[in-house]
Amino acid sequence: MPVSVKICGLNDPHAVQAIIDVKADYAGFVYFPASPRHLTLTHAATLKAMLPERIRSVSVVVDPDDALLDEIYSKLKPDYIQLHGKETPERLNAIRNRFSGIKLIKALSIKNAADIKQANLYDTCADMLMFDAKPPEAPNTLPGGNGLTFDWNLLSGHHFTLPWMLSGGLTPDNVAQAIRLTGAKMVDVSSGVEQKAGIKDPALIQAFVKAAKNV
């Protein structure tokens, strides 16, 4: 089976068309005002309507309150909600109880082996995990989309209960190496296929998907 690819931070029709053309597997839409990839739910609904059924939509949020989740669920009905903040297993269980049938991706920030162990905490409350690079401890740093990698060897030889996705600093040039080192079956990219922050490059999207799926 080829590696599955998620292109995240989509915010214009050209980028969405690019992922359709190259047969990406997941489309990520970010709802986080501090991010250069943030978009309104109305705009997201327009872009999501472009997607064929085979591409699964992912709503990316950071420590969302119930009001935001209610709005996302009613207006977009995404295939997945990706939780990219400090959400606890208890919070994920509360979200699952509130929204029948919702699928959750929990992003985990990774810097060392101890961070990998967080994965076990989410075995019964998430549907999928994402391993992303831990952001620097500095003011106004985004929780993701920073173009940073972590030591991929930390994942080598690990077996997880849940399916998982590799993220963090991936580009068309390094994604094949990352897949080989980690054994990832799914990869996620945002800044690595951009001309500048928040502006996707269709040529880089094509190159990334090709590199990942040819491993």
The phi, psi pair for 82, rounded to 5°, reads: -100, 120
| Catalytic option among 25, 79, 125, 132 | 132
Q: Does the structure show a pLDDT above 60 at 210?
A: yes
| pLDDT at site 104 | 98
| pLDDT at site 138 | 58
- Residue 125 annotated to the active site: no
Name the H helices within the chain. 13-21, 41-48, 66-76, 89-98, 113-116, 175-182, 202-213
| pLDDT at site 143 | 64
- Residue 201 annotated to the active site: no
Looking at per-residue pLDDT, the higher value among 157 and 82 belongs to 82
Q: pLDDT for 111-165, tens place per residue?
A: 999 999 999 999 999 999 999 998 766 556 666 556 679 999 999 888 899 999 9
Task: Show Cβ contacts of residue 204 under 8 Å, excluding neighbours closer than 6 positions.
Answer: 171, 172, 192, 193, 194, 195
pTM, entire model: 0.94
| pLDDT at site 111 | 93
Sign of CA dihedral 152, 184, 25, 92: negative
Q: pLDDT for 5-28, tens place per residue?
A: 999 999 999 999 999 999 999 999
| Catalytic option among 8, 25, 79, 188 | 8
Domains observed in the chain: 4-213 (3.20.20.70)
